[in-house]
Structure formats: C-alpha cells, structure tokens
C-alpha cells in the first residue's frame, strides 16, 4: 500500500540505501529498525515523498496519516483543533472545518482514548499527551496508511507502553498499513509483523520480525552484545542490556 521500489539515496560518500524496495501492504505493520543516525527518519521521509531520492519510485495513497516526531510544537491551539487539522485535505484551499470535521476529530480522539485532552492547549501538553493528539490527527485524515516517526523514543515507559498498545490495536481493528521507525528492537518485537533493518555500512535487510530479530543480527546491528531472555509464559524473547560490572569500561 505504501513504499518505495528500487530506491537509492546517498549523501556524498555516505550510502543510506541502494536498490531498496519496501512495501507495507494492508493489514501489516512494519518497523524500520536501526541505530541512531543511520537514516531511519530519512528513509521514512523518502517513502513519504518529503526527501528526494537519487533513484527509485514511491507508491502511496494521496493522503497518508503521518505522525511526526515533534509535531506542531509551537502551536497554541486546543487538542481538538490540532486533531481537526487532519481533515485539511478534504477542505480545499478556502474551506473551513465544519461540524462533520469536528465530529470526525472527536471520533479519532475517542479511538486513541484521549477525549480528556480535547480542550487542553496543545503547547502545554506533555510529550505523551502530544503523541496521542498527533496519532489522533493522523487517524482523522481517514487514510488507512499510517506512518509514525520515532513514536516512542521521547516517551517514558508508561507512555511507550500506551503508544505501542495503541499501534497494535490500530493495526488489528482495520486493514491498515502501518510503518514506524524505532531504535528499540523490543518495540519492533512488540507490535511489528515485518522489520526493515538499516545495518551499519549501508546495507538494508528485511523480513518477518521472528526471523530477523535474532541475537546475532542485533549484535551486528548495534555493535554490542545483548542478553536475550524469555519472560515466564511468553512466546518470544526480549533484548536486555547486560549487567554492567564497571570492569570492562575504559
């Protein structure tokens, strides 16, 4: 439903990806995984059409529900007003949002469970609250393609959990194509079906989460060993940082 075909992008000698094809079909959730600074957000922007590529085609519906990492940060409007902006594509150049747009925005707020934020001023909200508003705005567009840039990276543990559970629920309730970036393999494991891994050195590998997120590949991806544990009663393993004794450092 949304993706790129045979795409390449380099900045000088730095190769971000070459000959890469990514497609997120309806009903699947894909995570773009990689270390900081590897170009996850740039790949996302290329898929959205905000970043010109050296080569390649992109395919996407005309309207995509996009959740930026830091959206609307200076906007002194109410939560509901920010969500209503998601209806902009339906309004036209001189259009004003009407009652049906406010209704759609309220419905989106209900969907993300953030009705209590409708009248709060956006610029006074916490990071977690803003995240919910921006996700609701993406839903208010009515698009079945959802793209989220680092939806969890600035959030505390509680808000990470809330956001991930919302992403999982959104993927399940309708045949949506969901694409998000993250640097935490556990978050990809928690909600994604497929993963696109941006390896150090310019290679990009992809596949189903269960096959791709293995201790070996993760050690290669991040350049450090990790402990993999299977919580009691769980079917999957999660990555944990090793115990630091302080003896190996320096």
- By beta-carbon proximity to other proteins, the closer residue of 36 and 74 is 74
204 in helix, strand or coil? strand
Identify any residues that bridge with 180 across adjacent strands, giving them in sequence order.
31, 148
81 binds other proteins (CB under 8 A): yes
From residue 27 to residue 46, what is the string marking binding to other proteins with x (rule CB under 8 A)?
------------------x-
* Of the residues 13, 93, 249, 250, which one makes contact with other proteins according to CB under 8 A: 93
Considering the complex, what minimum distance in angstroms separates the CB of residue 88 from other proteins? 4
Does residue 141 belong to the site contacting other proteins (CB under 8 A)? yes
User: What residues numbered 146-165 form the site for other proteins, per CB under 8 A?
Assistant: none
Interface with other proteins in residues 97-136 (CB under 8 A): 97, 116, 119-120
CB of 110 to other proteins, least distance (A): 17
178 touches other proteins by CB under 8 A: no
Q: Tokens 């009691």 correspond to what residue?
A: 232
Q: For other proteins, give the closer residue by CB, 124 or 174.
A: 124
Q: Closest approach of Cβ 24 to other proteins, in Å?
A: 16
H helix intervals, the chain: 40-48, 79-84, 88-91, 99-111, 127-140, 157-173, 185-191, 209-212, 215-222
Long-range contact pairs involving 160-163 (C-beta distance under 8 Å, separation at least 24):
160/187, 162/128, 162/132, 163/128, 163/131, 163/132, 163/135
CA distance 218 to 150: 19
Among 56, 58, 77, 128, binds other proteins (CB under 8 A): 77
CA distance 115 to 109: 5
CA separation for the pair 117, 186 (Å, rounded): 29
Q: Provide, rounded to whole angstroms, the least separation between the CB of residue 68 and other proteins.
A: 5
Beta carbons within 8 Å of 37's beta carbon, 6+ residues apart: none
Which listed residue (25, 61, 95, 207) binds other proteins by CB under 8 A?
95
Q: Residue holding tokens 């302080």? A: 246
Q: Is 66 among the residues that bind other proteins (CB under 8 A)?
A: yes
Number of neighbouring beta carbons within 10 Å of residue 165: 13
Q: Is 14 in the site for other proteins (CB under 8 A)?
A: no
Residue 52, CA atoms < 13 Å, CB-side half-sphere: 2
Binder among 91, 115, 199, 239 for other proteins (CB under 8 A): 91
Summarize as ranges the residues that interact with other proteins (CB under 8 A).
Answer: 45, 48-50, 62-64, 66, 68, 70-77, 81, 85-86, 88-91, 93-97, 116, 119-120, 141
């Amino acid at each position: 439903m949304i993706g790129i075909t045979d795409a390449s992008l380099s900045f000088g000698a730095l190769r971000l990806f070459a000959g890469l094809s990514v497609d997120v079909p309806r009903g699947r959730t894909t995570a773009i995984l990689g270390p900081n600074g590897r170009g996850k957000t740039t790949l996302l922007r290329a898929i959205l059409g905000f970043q010109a590529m050296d080569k390649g085609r992109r395919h996407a519906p005309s309207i995509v529900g996009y959740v930026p990492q830091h959206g609307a940060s200076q906007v002194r409007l109410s939560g509901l007003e920010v969500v209503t902006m998601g209806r902009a594509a339906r309004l036209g150049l001189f259009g004003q949002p009407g009652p049906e747009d406010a209704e759609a925005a309220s419905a989106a707020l209900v969907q993300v469970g953030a009705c209590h934020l409708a009248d709060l001023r956006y610029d006074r909200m916490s990071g977690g609250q803003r995240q919910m508003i921006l996700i609701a705005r993406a839903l208010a567009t009515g698009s079945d393609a959802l793209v989220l840039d680092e939806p969890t990276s600035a959030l505390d543990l509680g808000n990470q959990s809330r956001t991930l559970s919302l992403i999982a629920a959104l993927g399940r309730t309708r045949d949506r194509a969901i694409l998000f970036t993250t640097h935490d393999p556990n978050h990809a494991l928690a909600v994604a079906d497929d993963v696109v891994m941006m390896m150090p050195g310019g290679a990009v590998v992809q596949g189903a989460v269960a096959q791709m997120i293995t201790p070996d590949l993760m050690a290669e991806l991040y350049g450090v060993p990790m402990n993999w544990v299977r919580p009691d009663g769980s079917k999957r393993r999660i990555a944990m940082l090793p115990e630091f004794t302080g003896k190996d450092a320096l």
